[in-house]
Structure 1
Amino acid sequence: MTLSADGAIWCGDDRRSGVLANPAHPLNGVDFVEYRRAPLAPPGERNLLDVTFLKPPPALAADDFAVLGGVRIIDIRVLGVAPVVDPRTLTLFLNKEGDFSTYILSVVHPLIDEERSEARFSFKAGCPTEFDCRLSVECPPEALIEPALDYLAKDYQSFRRLLLDLIAARNPGWQERLPADLGMTIVELIAYAGDYLSYLQDAGPGTEGYLDTCLHRVSAARHARLVDYRMHQGRNAFTFVHLATEAVGGAPIPLGTRLLTRIGRPLIGETAAPGATISIQPQFDSDPALADVTVFETTTAVTIRAAHNELRIHSGGDAECCLAAGTCQAFLYRLANADGTGAAVRPQFRPGDWLLFEEVLDPRNGSPYDADPAHRQVVRITAVADAVDEAFTDALTGGALTARLNPADPPLPLQRVEWRVEDALASAFCLSAVLDDETIVGPVTIARGNIVPADHGRSLVEVHDVGPDPGAGRWPLPSLALAAGPLTWQAPASALEFDATGTPLLGRTELDIPASAAAPAIVLMMSFPGQPDEIWTPQPSLLESDVYDQHFVAEIDNDGAATLRFGDDHYGRRPLDAARVVARYRIGNGAAGNIGRESLVHLVTPDPPPPGFQPVTRLFQPLPGRGGEDAETIEHVRQIAPEQFRAIQFRAVTEADWEEVALRHPDVAAARATFRWTGSWHTIFVAIHPHDEAKLRRLPGGGAELAPDFAAMMRAHLMRFKLAGYDLAVRAAVYVPLEIEVMICVAPGYFRGDVLAAVAARLSNRAGGLFDLDDYRFGEPVYLSRLYAAIEAIDGVDSATARMFKRYWDAPRDELARGVIEMAPFEIARLDNDASLPENGVLRLIAVGGL
């Protein structure tokens, strides 16, 4: 097992060291490190570190080495260097011995390969242990996604569409839609039963004057607004597409380019079904071939290049590697030719571009047909940097890297890309694999550029020649109805900027928003006699609009039709004397856009095509459409809106209030507050337990305090809620270390080391462990019964007996007999089981029986 210097790539087969071990290769590297003691040696030569290189090393001095790491013992220096009998080994003399943590020996020299310039070691490797010291990497399979049930479906058609959308996402191969099909019969039977039950829930008399009895969506939305609740109209789905091109210099794809699901027959005026790029403008309202087509549009402008069609992920030349889960960076290069020959070329990504990671081979058998189509992820690049790997040349043979034996040869060109933390890889991606017959297969995962976001909806332009009313001297109606629907509700742009025709100029990139934050996809161009055209934009409500604001509200009624309501010259401006209104809007909304992966296959040539545009050779949708949500039902508003009247309180009076406002901060896992009389006034003491332990500063003896910057941030957060006459003190929780010793009786047929490792993992402070700090609250006692239940649930444990169960710094009392360790109100139990920091809790496990 090898680990890259940045920790992003784990490899099970060290091939790079074999390349460097070649005597003809100019670079060298560290093979392994061993620590030993010489008690009888003179001072300064008693702590020895034997460093073995891949081949005889160059002349190295003590200044070329550095010992990094350590928890309790740091600042370990190299005093001298001496050769030994083995020409590949050097002995380093250290000034002192380290603690139980893992240290890193680093070598900095021009002839030492950067990837093999570090080695991890422990000063306590000789201490007896029951655990396997082998470095292991967990690459668990991705958890199955539970189906998203849409509780807003209320009638036969919506239930039927909900079921068909779920089938399309889970089983894209089932295309049968004939009513006589058995599957469709079952779908329609379930939809009928849902419609009948929904009718029984909604049936009953009522009037539009009350929220409890109104039957129209417009009435429900207005009633809800009175109690500060915004009734949402759903939102459209979004996805990402990969556009393959032959354009070497780059081809522009403008904002709003249309993408279509598969068209199975010729369009009007054509003789064959369309290919990847449709050169004519489809007639969506009259062409029967487009009756069942779903339309998406790109949400931003991109430039696609042939160089980004397919990219390789550099693993350092090793085999059986994977990009670890949580990784936010990678090194990329591309092949010059499709057959894997020619020189490797550096990509040309820029910050803001998107990148797709796609599994193209099954890591178990190397078959492309068994690759997991769900094992894909799109990330957004935040930083790029040029890099090289001097261990290999830029020449490739059959797609394989070539060792750089001649320093005059150009090194392998790479581009280092970083992406957002929120886009960190959700699961590990295998880069190469070794089959049972020792055959190396790869690349298992590739990267693709030319990724563009797109969301559901089709743009329309609708012209209304309204004209003024001669009698009243104003526009005759305070509202305007749109002819087509349903109106699209989408993620709004971060800023609004339009050209002279009202077309948006700025793209939208943050598409994953809740339906309550979606905005209607519409803008109006109004013409007034003798005046320049004006742009009017939608707003959630006109209550905050000024008398001169060019705003309107889009209201949706039960039939899905959209009506635009304007102001009254008090809340928003009235469109007096408007002669012409040009509405630019989109239609297509709700869960209907949650299409399955690889459903979008056609791109419509923009009208007019931008300079340099070239047809795409392939349109590939790697991920299913998601985020599409149907409009909120009236019944849901009746149940939820009244609770919104109890608005968030922005003052803290009681101790419970202070705890509640502290928990509003996203970095706080738990909080505890209490009032105390401090002489002349009361002080509210608020103890904070953060999610991230890095926001704590360790104190001698196992104590902790809030980091200064985090403490200042929490104080500023809480001061907004403080009443006059009180003082505020913010501090960290009191963490109580535990000392627990358990004897485990291992069942016959189980290895003691495996069982102890499983028990230690279950009782750890990691996520999912019994002593995970995020699972404990202030004052929560530690029960021995929970400890027994966690241990005995592990396979291989016959029985368990606690021999010590107490606070670390205190003498044993009656905790073991009572089966509980009590905690004070501001205390939280802690058990880190770190040999270098026993003051943070100690766990001792003793195993008997087993193998």
Structure 2
Amino acid sequence: MADTPVPVLDFSGADSGSCAACGERRTILPLPLLDAGNDIDLPVRDFDGFRRFMLEELAARYPERTRWTPADMEVVLVEALATVLDQLSDMADRAFAEAYLETARIPSSVRRLLSMIGYDAAAEASAKGQIGWDPARPEERFAALENFWAKNPYEMDEARRAGPRAIRTQHRMVSLNDHAERVEDHPLVLRAKARSFWTGSWETIFVAVVAFDTRLSLGSAVPLPADATNEEERLERQQLIEEIERFNKRNEMPLPDWSMHPTLRQVLAPFVERMRMAGREVVLDDAIPVGIALVMSIIVRPNYFRSEVQSAAKAALSDRPGGLFEPGRLNFGDDLFASDIIAALMALDGVENVCLFRFKRVGNDQPDQTASGRIALDGLEIPVCDNNPARLERGYLSLTLHGGLSG
């Protein structure tokens, strides 16, 4: 490198008759650097490229030599140096690749890159039951994840793809829609609706929820597998419990103490506390069930048993999966139309015609809406029809069948 030029004051002009107190600042600049030329081929990164480059340089420096054989000492040294350069080049490529999520291959690098965008791959893998660790030693979870990915690289590729997609998912409760959408993420909740009210000193967000079973309220205990009456119900409840536990692990929340028979509110409250904004109160609220009274007759086609058609009709208008009153099928305030009920029954095998005689809310003071074919709902109301004689206020269904075969 050239030295920094030093300016010098020159008073030699006084000899020529000029002012003796006047000087001139002179700086002697260094000579410009020689052009290095383009004799370095930067794209060369492998053994063959390095070997050829150095041999071409030797041939240019010693043109009088016309023969180069692999046994020559110069060629041996060139090939040994090319081998080392090829290894260093590969190491540089590998190190550069680990800096980007798309090209990283080491599990620890992928995990760190995913954590930089807010994706906890260890929590996701734990929620899926792929890894486990001692809760008293949380530092083990990273080692468990990396060991699992080393044995299952396709799972690492799946996390590599899922991480960037998760950036677009809102994980906070800011707007009213955010409150409803985040609460709906919980396995216990099918529908949620958020409202904002001024409660005197601050604004409170009320979130009404439709649970996986509309017969349950926020004060009801989560049904456990031990309380099931049959094997199918026990398996459904067991799957729900496992899904809740995976959800809590994914969101780094403590698991519910099932021995204490927690209520729906007690299971949902930790999740709401984790997601809500600081300084904002969020209150969980129940939906308002509206019992629906249905009285109708069905004409059964010939060669169909009335008992089978009746069972199919009750299932089509039940709250079981696929039924018209399945929890979560209708949103808050969605009107109920008679045409939907008739269409659900007409789609059944053996049904020739359907006549609707009563279509109204439960209650003597509620008008019949058979003529209009529409029951208007508003606010937090959702239609229910449990058809339980012990709870007629939650709706009932009366069917009269004609034609077909008896039995």
TM-score (norm 1): 0.27
Is the 1:736–1:829 Cα contact (8 Å) retained in structure 2?
A: yes
- Matches of 1:213 and 1:658, distance apart in 2: 33
1:672 alignment partner AA? K
- Matches of 1:819 and 1:680, distance apart in 2: 44
Of 167, 170, 178, which aligns to 1:657?
178
Of 822, 833, 842, which aligns to 2:376?
822
Counterpart check, 1:799 vs 2:322: no
Of 191, 198, 201, which aligns to 1:677?
198
- Unaligned 5+ runs, structure 2: 1-95, 221-260
The residue aligned with 2:367 is: 812
The residue aligned with 1:762 is: 316
Is the 2:218–2:285 Cα contact (8 Å) retained in structure 1?
A: no
2:347 alignment partner AA? A
- Over 3 Å counting, the alpha-carbon distance change for 1:708 and 1:779 in structure 2 is farther
- Matches of 1:845 and 1:209, distance apart in 2: 68
The residue aligned with 1:691 is: 212
- Matches of 1:659 and 1:816, distance apart in 2: 34
More helix by share: 2
Post-superposition Cα deviations, 1:223-246, rounded to whole Å, max 9, x if no partner, equal 3343244668xx9xxxxxxxxxxx
- What are the residue-to-residue correspondences of 1:439-838 with 2, within 5 Å? 513-515=128-130, 517=131, 539-541=140-142, 631-632=154-155, 634=157, 636-645=158-167, 649-650=171-172, 652-692=173-213, 693-695=215-217, 709-711=263-265, 714-715=268-269, 717-723=271-277, 726-809=280-363, 810-812=365-367, 815-838=369-392
Of 105, 109, 113, which aligns to 1:216?
105
- What are the residue-to-residue correspondences of 1:7-406 with 2, within 5 Å? 208=97, 211=100, 214=103, 216-218=105-107, 220-229=110-119
Post-superposition Cα deviations, 1:627-675, rounded to whole Å, max 9, x if no partner, equal xxx63364x455322234457635x232222223333443333222101
Is the 1:231–1:632 Cα contact (8 Å) retained in structure 2?
A: no
- Over 3 Å counting, the alpha-carbon distance change for 1:834 and 1:555 in structure 2 is closer
2:100 alignment partner AA? L
- Matches of 1:841 and 1:833, distance apart in 2: 6
- Matches of 1:216 and 1:717, distance apart in 2: 35
Larger radius of gyration: 2
Deviation at 1:735, TM superposition (A): 0.4
Deviation at 1:819, TM superposition (A): 3.5
Deviation at 1:220, TM superposition (A): 4.4
Counterpart check, 1:841 vs 2:362: no
The residue aligned with 2:79 is: none
Deviation at 1:772, TM superposition (A): 2.4
- Matches of 2:380 and 2:367, distance apart in 1: 22
1:691 alignment partner AA? F
2:103 alignment partner AA? C
Is the 1:675–1:684 Cα contact (8 Å) retained in structure 2?
A: yes
Deviation at 1:222, TM superposition (A): 4.6
The residue aligned with 2:224 is: none
Is the 1:711–1:731 Cα contact (8 Å) retained in structure 2?
A: no
- Matches of 1:721 and 1:220, distance apart in 2: 27
Aligned partner of residue 632 in structure 1, secondary structure: helix
- Matches of 2:195 and 2:356, distance apart in 1: 35
Is the 2:300–2:351 Cα contact (8 Å) retained in structure 1?
A: yes
- Matches of 2:117 and 2:346, distance apart in 1: 52
The residue aligned with 2:72 is: none
Deviation at 1:729, TM superposition (A): 3.6
Aligned partner of residue 662 in structure 1, secondary structure: helix
- Matches of 1:709 and 1:221, distance apart in 2: 36
Is the 1:831–1:840 Cα contact (8 Å) retained in structure 2?
A: yes
Aligned partner of residue 748 in structure 1, secondary structure: strand
Alignment RMSD: 4.1
- Matches of 1:741 and 1:685, distance apart in 2: 36
Is the 2:205–2:283 Cα contact (8 Å) retained in structure 1?
A: yes
Aligned partner of residue 205 in structure 2, secondary structure: strand
1:655 alignment partner AA? L
- Over 3 Å counting, the alpha-carbon distance change for 1:830 and 1:697 in structure 2 is farther
Is the 1:670–1:689 Cα contact (8 Å) retained in structure 2?
A: yes
1:812 alignment partner AA? P
Deviation at 1:807, TM superposition (A): 1.7
1:782 alignment partner AA? L
Aligned partner of residue 850 in structure 1, secondary structure: strand
How many residues are treated as equivalent by the alignment? 264
2:309 alignment partner AA? V
Is the 2:300–2:350 Cα contact (8 Å) retained in structure 1?
A: yes
- Matches of 1:754 and 1:842, distance apart in 2: 20
Runs of 4+ aligned residues of structure 1 deviating over 6 Å after TM superposition are none
Post-superposition Cα deviations, 1:589-634, rounded to whole Å, max 9, x if no partner, equal 55xxxxxxxxxxxxxxxxxxxxxxxxxxxxxxxxxxxxxxx63364
Is the 1:217–1:556 Cα contact (8 Å) retained in structure 2?
A: no
Aligned partner of residue 103 in structure 2, secondary structure: coil
- Over 3 Å counting, the alpha-carbon distance change for 1:556 and 1:750 in structure 2 is closer
Is the 1:538–1:552 Cα contact (8 Å) retained in structure 2?
A: no
- Over 3 Å counting, the alpha-carbon distance change for 1:739 and 1:552 in structure 2 is closer
1:803 alignment partner AA? F
1:632 alignment partner AA? E
Post-superposition Cα deviations, 1:111-145, rounded to whole Å, max 9, x if no partner, equal xxxxxxxxxxxxxxxxxxxxxxxxxxxxxxxxxxx
Is the 1:538–1:554 Cα contact (8 Å) retained in structure 2?
A: no
Is the 1:681–1:725 Cα contact (8 Å) retained in structure 2?
A: no
TM-score (norm 2): 0.53
1:769 alignment partner AA? G
Aligned partner of residue 640 in structure 1, secondary structure: helix
- Over 3 Å counting, the alpha-carbon distance change for 1:230 and 1:725 in structure 2 is closer
Deviation at 1:818, TM superposition (A): 4.5
